[in-house]
Amino acid sequence: GLRGLACCNLGESFENSASVTVGYSDAVTGARQIRLLGLSGVYTQMLDETRPVMRGLSAPFGLSYVPGQWLESIQIAKGPSSVVNGLEAITGQINMEHRKPTDEKPLFVNLFVDNHLMTEANIASSLQLNEKWSTVTMGHYSSMPMGHDGNGDGCKGEPTSRKFNLTNRWLYYDQSGMQIRVGIRALTDDRTGGMTSFKKEMRNDVNAMVSNNVWGSNINNKGVNAYVKVGVPLNAENTRNIAFVADYTYHQIDSYFGVKNYNGRQNSVFANLIFQETIGDEHRINAGIRNQFDLFDETLEDTYITSFGQLWNTTDYNLDRRENAVGIYGEYTYTLGEKFSAVAGVSVDYNNLHGLLVAPRANIKYAFTDDIIFRAS
């Protein structure tokens, strides 16, 4: 359904879903916010092929950075869900599966333009280089050049914007069952909001902007993500295996809102070592150790305007912080056909800001029929 739409990123695509509600948090930034089981924002954990993403500075905008045409499928888990990928899933998890290097389409091109000159272009190319190596490259460009003012109040209903997004992913697959997945992604996003009369060059003369009573904002996002995933079977049947996942993210925001400036830098590293064993068709055991490290460098220049239209009293706030969480976890899954499944797990983490965190979790599902399903967590 997501890939069938002519346009749209993940946030816009979710508007057609009954399970997930997405709406604007405000018209100034154009950020979209997920609401799942009544709670919104950071209560839902976003995963990119089981790697935690859209965290920290990129969280308000992350949904708009995933073109629907890049996706192969999504999985939605309601409730606290699994402990394997961390403790951040409170109302649920949303896992995105992208087009794979083994996709049989060597070239896919999608173009879209609407009557407001909203433009989107997507391209994807999957190549099977030999029996072991394959790769997929995906590119995305989108722009919203016209400031739409539907109610005629002189302010843009959503910001004008321009986004570039490029990713390259590789897969190495050996007949023994061992596989290696690596990928890198880069993006830029520039969005300008505020009054329809505001132009970016006006910000060069803040005093003139204030005296003319013109308000505007600009948010410039840049980001790089790289990851590696290695899976190694420990027996011939591949019922016992070990995997290692490492992910690095850099995200930068340079922005202003009227006369106030906000700038942020984020460096995040996620590492997860997982042991998994499957016993028959009914039992599966996961255990492992993981680490999540986040380094934030944030500054806010808070400037006030007097009733006489003069700039006054600029206050600088330093919002830097470092957070590191190391945890161990174990999880057991019991599956009885398509009727019944139960997942029980516990995670014990030590966080340098919040101390010791113990999180036991259990999820049960029973399907009376295809249309009547009981869930408890």
**Residue pLDDT, tens place only, 190-217:** 999 999 889 888 888 888 888 888 999 9
pLDDT band per the 50, 70, 90 thresholds, residue 222: very high
How far is the C-alpha of 349 from the C-alpha of 326, rounded, in Å?
A: 5
Kindly state the tokens that stand for 335.
């599956």
CB contact at 8 A, 281 and 335: yes
Q: What is the pLDDT of residues 263-282, one digit of tens each?
A: 999 999 999 999 999 998 89
From residue 98, how far is each of 68, 69, 86, 150, 349 by CA, in Å?
9, 9, 21, 35, 30
pLDDT of 3 higher than 90 = no
Q: What is the pLDDT of residue 20?
A: 76
Q: What is the pLDDT of residue 164?
A: 96
**What does the DSSP assignment read for 119-157?**
EEEEEEEEEE-SSSEEEEEEEEEEEE-S---TT-SSB-S
**For the whole prediction, is pTM greater than 0.75?**
yes
